[in-house]
Structure 1
Amino acid sequence: MTIGSAGEHTWRYRLWQHLCGAYGDPFTLVGPRETLHDPSTDEPTSYAYADPDFPRAHLAGWGEGWFHMAPLIGDAVRSCHADVLLVSLGLIDLGFYTNAEQTADNVRAFVAEARAAGPRIRTAVLPVIRNVRVEADPAFADQVARFNELLAKTVADLDTPASPLLLVPPPPSYDFHTDTYDGTHPNETGEHKIAGAFAEALWREWDLGGPYRTA
């Protein structure tokens, strides 16, 4: 949902557009990766962004979640000098790797590694946005709801003045029937809604940027 596929803009691009309008350009997106997922090879090897003229750096992976990112985030913060982390993870964890409690443990590991690398790092976390699987798999739907409860508690427990943690309110109108192209991955409207959720939270809570506009 964050890395995007060949031919897409990504919500990262939508947020970058917004911040350029709000700030002028005293910021950049950072991360050790730049590629998109290539559906033809099922590998993260594509550079075919719909608009390649933006800072493409990120730390996202197709099929990667908290389980995968916790061991990587420390090196990424150190090497890329990140100040703010924007995190949208968890759906893949709950679908294939870990239950809600184990996933929450990986959130704690992620935060610990990020802070070890950057003691004043700020982290904004989006709860898991449900996908089409919740309609056919009630147990999975329950795990998503349980994890989001645990995530809110974890963020509250770990939040500190020196290294703030922010739980981003999910976009209220997001609907996987209309805001994705396959029941999971965001289309243009979905990209805007995810970017808008981060943008509004950053503005309201940390005075970064401004109100989100889609045009």
Structure 2
Amino acid sequence: MCTMFVYSCTRVLINPLIHSSMPRSISKYFMLVLLLGLACPPAIGQIHILSLGNSITQGETGHISYREPLWNLLQVAGYNVDFVGSMTDLFQCGTTTGFDPDHEGHWGWRVNEILDGDGNLNNCASQTGANVGLSDWLLGYTPDIALIHLGTNDLLHDNQPPADLILEVEQVIATLRADNPQVAIFVATLIPSNSATLNARIANYNPLLPGMVATLNTPNSPVILVDQAAGYNPAVDNYDSYHPGPTGRQKMAQKWFDAIDNHLSPVAFPVAWGEIGLTVDRDRVRLDWQTLRERASRGFRVEHWTTEAPQPRALGFVPSQGDSHTLQEYYFLAGPFPAGKHFFRLRQLDVDGSETVSEVLTADILTTMPTLAAYPQPAGEVLELAWSDARASGRWLITDLAGRAFAQGEISQGNHTLSVPTAQWPSGLYVVRLAFADGNIVQKKVLVGP
């Protein structure tokens, strides 16, 4: 599990203090070793995930199972995953596109058929022959993670005693461990149906799963209960009596993802930082930052200090999303500030009082700002620009009010004039923007045309 664990932690522990001065791959691994003292090398490989079940896992044309939204969630979160299995098709040989289709979802199969391979076949090219079961399928791949949603057909068609069904699920777990002694196994409670009879049987089976999970769970091969039944409403979430529709598939995918994510990220800062930046507009500053994920985050305190007053002080507080697996963007406006060098950072506060800090950002507030002149007004065939006191290099840009660029170029230090042909431009208002490398921005609206 060393490889999988290192992968997960290096994905999460992105600390801008280290990230700003090291290559990304080195910085993330260094932070992990610094905090955890791990001895294993920075091996970042795919995580092989097996979806093991029946029709709820396989899906059919028009009703692809939870596997598609789960794949999307894992991709957005940045996980490098490989779905594995001996099958790629949907029920009755339907095909899928847009995500990794490999799985072991066998329509109509009971748990004993998963074990010994005596279930019905759909005669699809990706399916193996009769009398081929889980141990045979595992010859073709080795999962790091197995997602198990099994037992619905056993209860529906055979009214199998729940205790006997538990024993068969335990055999499935034993088979997975024989292939990979360090496999992480996620066992789901069965989702309810629109059949009162089946629901009564599920109600007798699901309560037995926590005890089985607690008994079989080990540090090397964890067994984790995923409560797929909680919050699932078959009247809304199923498209027929037994199978999840769009909302049901999304709910199942989210439950699987949350469990996988929590397992792969056992040690994590409250947030994983994304890009952090600062822009200066005369004597004011705007901070922009991103988080790649958040866990129990309360928000961000913006701190400021100068060389003359080196003690950081709080400028304000920005509440955070709290819990998020997707990109979040925030900003904070501050000023006016006197001329000089100013320092800023973000202090992220967790709900339990823990904190992390971002890299330090620097802003140079100038005593005199570069001046920008534009003439004639309105401009006809040519717009003349002139600027002075440019203390840093940068770029100039002219856009319309919708933000479409019409002309741009480089800025060097000093005083400059520039002629910009405008004869072919539509008449209207435009914005001339000078953006300097020291963070200062000067802009002016100009009129082009009669």
What TM-score does the superposition give when structure 1 sets the normalisation length? 0.85
CA distance in 1, matches of 2:109, 2:214: 24
Other-structure match for 2:209: 151
> Bigger CA drift: 70-79 or 59-68?
70-79
Match of 1:6 among 61, 64, 70: 61
CA distance in 1, matches of 2:226, 2:243: 19
1:129 equivalent to 2:177? Answer no
Other-structure match for 1:202: 260
Match of 1:192 among 246, 250, 254: 250
CA distance in 2, matches of 1:11, 1:32: 18
CA distance in 1, matches of 2:255, 2:325: 8
More strand by share: 2
Q: CA deviation at 1:13?
A: 0.6
1:103 equivalent to 2:185? Answer no
CA distance in 1, matches of 2:147, 2:91: 19
Q: CA deviation at 1:171?
A: 5.5
Q: CA deviation at 1:164?
A: 0.5
Match of 1:162 among 220, 231, 235: 220
Percent of aligned positions that are identical: 27
CA distance in 2, matches of 1:13, 1:158: 29
Q: CA deviation at 1:202?
A: 1.6
Does the CA contact (< 8 Å) of 2:187 and 2:226 recur in 1?
Answer: yes
CA distance in 1, matches of 2:77, 2:229: 20
Match of 1:82 among 143, 163, 166: 143
* Unaligned ranges ≥5, structure 2: 1-55, 117-132, 267-291, 294-323, 327-450
Other-structure match for 2:276: none
CA distance in 1, matches of 2:81, 2:259: 17
In structure 2, do the counterparts of structure 1 residues 114 and 89 end up closer, same or farther at CA, with 3 Å as the change threshold?
same
CA distance in 2, matches of 1:206, 1:10: 23
Q: The residue matched to 1:113 in structure 2 has which SS?
A: helix
Opposite residue 99 of structure 1, the aligned amino acid is P
CA distance in 1, matches of 2:325, 2:70: 9
CA distance in 1, matches of 2:72, 2:111: 27
Other-structure match for 1:17: 72
Q: CA deviation at 1:149?
A: 1.5
CA distance in 2, matches of 1:130, 1:53: 28
Does the CA contact (< 8 Å) of 1:196 and 1:212 recur in 2?
Answer: no
1:114 equivalent to 2:114? Answer no
More helix by share: 1
CA distance in 2, matches of 1:101, 1:46: 35
CA distance in 2, matches of 1:169, 1:74: 26
RMSD: 2.0
Opposite residue 3 of structure 1, the aligned amino acid is Q
Q: CA deviation at 1:165?
A: 0.3
Match of 1:173 among 231, 244, 256: 231
Instruction: Provide, for residues 52-94 of structure 1, a one-character-per-residue CA deviation record: whole Å limited to 9, x for no partner.
Output: 1211000011112322223433333342121100111111111
Does the CA contact (< 8 Å) of 1:3 and 1:61 recur in 2?
Answer: yes
Q: Higher Cα Rg: structure 1 or 2? A: 2
CA distance in 2, matches of 1:203, 1:27: 12
Q: CA deviation at 1:170?
A: 2.2
* Unaligned ranges ≥5, structure 1: 39-44
Does the CA contact (< 8 Å) of 2:57 and 2:67 recur in 1?
Answer: yes
Opposite residue 103 of structure 2, the aligned amino acid is H
In structure 2, do the counterparts of structure 1 residues 109 and 126 end up closer, same or farther at CA, with 3 Å as the change threshold?
same
